[in-house]
Every structure is written in C-alpha cells, then in structure tokens.
Structure 1
Amino acid sequence: MTSPSTYYTAPGRVRDIRVKIGDTWRPADEAQKAAYIAYKSREHYYTETPYTHENDVTIFREDNDPYMATYFKLEGSSRNVKHPIIDMNDISIFLMDGVTGRGSRDGAGWVNARNYQAWAYADFVYDHAVRKCYMSKYSTYLAFPAGFDHANVVTIDVDDIPPNIIFSVSRNENNSVYYERNDSGGSRVRICDNEYARVGFLGFFTRITMDVGMIIEPPGSVGNGDNSANMFCEVEVPPLIETSVEADQCILCYEYVKNTKLSPCNHVISCYRCIQKLSKSECPVCKAHIHSISTA
C-alpha cells in the first residue's frame, strides 16, 4: 500500500477530513481517515476509480469523474449507504498571477482556498444544483450584482469574515467547478479538491500560454487610453464561439474559444469578450505591455 506520507499537505495546514452523516458534518473516524488518506495518496497517473482500503472502507467519486464529489461506503454493509467525505484543507483555487512556491509556473498556480470558499465548494459539490449563489453573514441585498439569484442565496456558515462577500458557484461543461466573483467583469476562478485534476489543469494552462502561434496580423495602431479594447486592429470583430474543449477555451472565462492574439508577446489565450474587459494594457500571463491585439 502506498505510504500515506505521499498525501501532500501545504505547510502550516493540517488535514481536516470530514464526513457528512445525515445533515451534519463531523470529523472522520480513524478508519475513514485511513481509507481517505490512502485514496488520496495514490499516484496521480490513473483513471479515476474507486479505492477499497484493507479496513473495507471504499472511497470513490461520483461517476468516477475527477471533478465530482467524493463519498465513502462500508463494503459488506447491508445498507450499502454512501456518505460524503472531504478534506476541507485540500481545496484549492487557481490564480493566474502572484503565485510562488510548490507547483507554480510563471506566477500562476493553485493556492489554498479561503475558509468561506471551501465551505461553499463543499456545499455545492454535494448538491445537484446547476448554479448556487452565496453570501457571507450580515450581507446587504444592496450589494448583490445584477442577475444574482436573490431567492435562493445561501448564507455561508463561517464566522469572522466580513459581510458582503458575494459570489456564485457553477460548473463548466466538463464538470470542473468555478466560482464567479462579484466584480465588474464577473471573473471566474477554478476551485478543485483533486490533486490529479489540479496538476492536469496547470499543465494545460502552461501549454496554452507557451503557445505563441504564428504572426498572422500586422501590428495595428494603438488607440487612445490604456484599456486593451482600444488596441484591437481594424479588422472584423471575431465571433464568440462556445466550447467545452479545454485546449481551445479562453483561460479567463473557460466558456468561449480563444480568438485574439496579443502583440508583441504573441500570446493566444483569450476570447474577444474577455480582452475587452482588461483594464490594463498588459498580457495577463507574462505582463508584457500590449501594443496591439489582432484576430488569432
């Protein structure tokens, strides 16, 4: 059996493995912990499959999907009931800049989710809702953005966080989870509790941001102001095409095909809609100053 020590825990954090029995989350018992740690300690080069520990506790993800929720059940039990199990300190969000240390690449990488983000993630993945809206305690409805689901908003049961923390959680077409911030751009941030999936996405992100492509448009004249929308070359605006293929997705919204090229860095990472929302004339990946933007 693989040693549990291979199950990485970030410095300064301890495992917080919990199970949900009925409507109540509680600390996992020793048998549940042992099975979950061994499950998480497997090499990350496998197709998602159930894992049965020598103590007969089986850990598995719904539909064997790396982005779906994790459960445990006791083999041989006449009830054969599954229960949620998760490490609340092994939930991470993906940031595109400012990340250093283990696993980061050029400033991008996975970092520990804040406690309220982890709470919302656990609430969402064990529900079958398409989208759920969350707010911190004592938030005012005046802070809600347009289109927010006022009727079904969930109050985050975490103390000592400021009011008016408001966001929604949903899934991409491949079932990966993201939360959408309450900001002017409605920016999306991936959130995940599966190291195998996290490593895969970081590799995917690195590949697409290193792909400089071909120069197919001459530099255009820079418009007035510092907003990148002013720098688009005088050509037909590219269409917005939805896609669920990660290799083709805009890294900012994960919704549309990336179809713009930044010059002079030549990064092809975003759709035209997201490029328009950039407030600074710099590449989100390499931070190079953008001279012009053309169709990819």
Structure 2
Amino acid sequence: MRAIMIREPGGPENLEWTEVPDPVPGPGEVLLDVAASAVNRADLLQRQGHYPPPPGASEILGLECSGTIAELGEGVTGWQVGDEVCALLAGGGYAEKVAVPAVQLLPVPGEVKLLAAAGLPEVACTVWSNVVMHAGLGEGDVLLVHGGAGGIGTHAIQVGKALGATVAVTAGTGDRLERCRQLGADIVINYREQDFVAELRKEAGGADVILDNMGAKYLGKNVDALATGGRLVVIGMQGGVKGELNIGKLLTKRASIAATGLRGRPVEEKGEIVAAVREQLWPLVERGSVRPVIDQVVSLGKAADAHRRLEEGGVFGKVLLAVS
C-alpha cells in the first residue's frame, strides 16, 4: 500500500508519499480500506519529532480515519466486511489501509458522508471523554472553549449547546468568532483584543467547565475564570508546559484541574470512550445537532500542503486527507 512517511523530523517537506507493507489485522482487530484521514495538531508535533507514537503503534501519522472494513481479525464480532465505519487510531491513518482494534470503530452516523466521517472520531472522543465523562457538563452549565475555531473547538461548541449549556469561546479574529456564533456559541471573545476572564465574568459569572488547549500560558487566568466548583480540563500545551498555580484560589473556589491525553491510553479505555460516544453522542450526530465541520479536503498524497495550511492558521474545523 501507499502511505505518508516521515523521512526525518522537520518541516512538511519531510513527508513522503511512498510504498510500505500492508498492515495485518491481529486478534480483535479489523483491516480498513481507508477513505480519508484528518490532520490533527498532534500530527504536526509527531512530524517535528516531538510526539512519538505509543509503544506498539504504527509509525505512520494519522489519529483517525473513515473507511470500509476489508478483513476481520480473529475473534471480531458485531462487524462485517463491507461495513462503512470511522475509527479512533493510535497511528496509521495517513495510508491506504490501516489495522485498528474493533472496539475503536464507530458506524458512520446518520446522513454523514463516509469522507466527512473521517473528521469525527478524534474530536468526538476527546470532547466527550473530557467535557462530559470527566468534567460532567450538563444542562445550565457554562462551558468555556479555548480555540473555538479549531477541530476540537467547533465540535465542543455543538456538543455543549446540544447538552443545554451556555457556550463561550475564544478565537483570534472577528470572522472566526462570527462562525463560532453561527455554530451556537453564546459568548465570543477575541483573545487578541479582550481579557477572556473579564468578559466571561461579565457575561456569565464564570465557567463551570473549561476545555483548554493552551496549557501553561492560560493556567492562572483559567483558574480566575472558573466558577465555584468549576472544572478545568487541559488537553494541550500550545502555550507551554510549566506554569504557576495559585492553590489558594483553587481551594477557595473548590475547583479542580485535570490534564488528560487520549492517544496513549490502553485499548480497553479507548474502547470504553468509543462505546460511550456511540451510545450517547452518536444520536446527536444522527439528528444533525452535532455535525462534522470541514474546512478543506486535500489528497492524501499532498499531506504536506495540509500540514502547511494548519500551521499557517486560518483553518476553521478540520482538514481532511482523501485517499482517492
């Protein structure tokens, strides 16, 4: 098969469209003919040499895909050859074929096209596991989403609204904020021009749940923005890895902070998340309350162009990589 490989750590020019051995499904796995994958910021870090795959995972980039089941491994039940699915991956999505544990498969939901479904698994599992399963977002809560225009952000806006929350987002331009509002965001904050803590306090009194991709840079301000009993979930480090924490403020607010990752979890844990997504989130997708937000579709062989586009900024939602 053909796949995108990293010649050496560095820029997008080091991505190479080349032939590699076909994967073979092991026990409990299925083999997919990939229709499309999607670009995530973790892929950029891996390309640069900063985010190696977990032990045993494919060296090929790609944390999600959609496709058709081509072969069932030993012991797999509940799926058939020919089923159209999307999948959460630990790697291997930038390829014509990928082997994936069957517990990490999701059916293509409702009216969503097979190609567009490639942009769902990573954001769906990330948002649901953090915002709902961990932080317990519910009706009437206030959810603050940093990076509201990105893949995670555009999905989190829709999930928050579908669950009856008031959703606040940060983004860097008026156009992106307006598009977030069109997705359902109630409060939009330009982080280049406004203090998100002051704006959030003024508009909503504080956040019950914050989904943060910045890490250290926003740590202190996020604690300031939390309401009493608030939950801060850190899922990224775009703003650095070390910050200063005022524990006194955290104690006064009886608030909590968690930092979580998805890729390195055991297959069993990922399977539990995928099962919860299928049972509780997929009906919202099937009804159209939550939908994939696609910025652009690029041929998989031109993955380097897609990486450049994400690095340059301006992407709203997901960039997909189509195999054909």
Report the TM-score, using the length of structure 1 for normalisation.
Answer: 0.26
Report the TM-score, using the length of structure 2 for normalisation.
Answer: 0.25
Structure that is richer in strand per residue: 2
Structure that is richer in helix per residue: 2
Higher-RCO chain (CA-CA 8 Å, sequence separation at least 6): 2
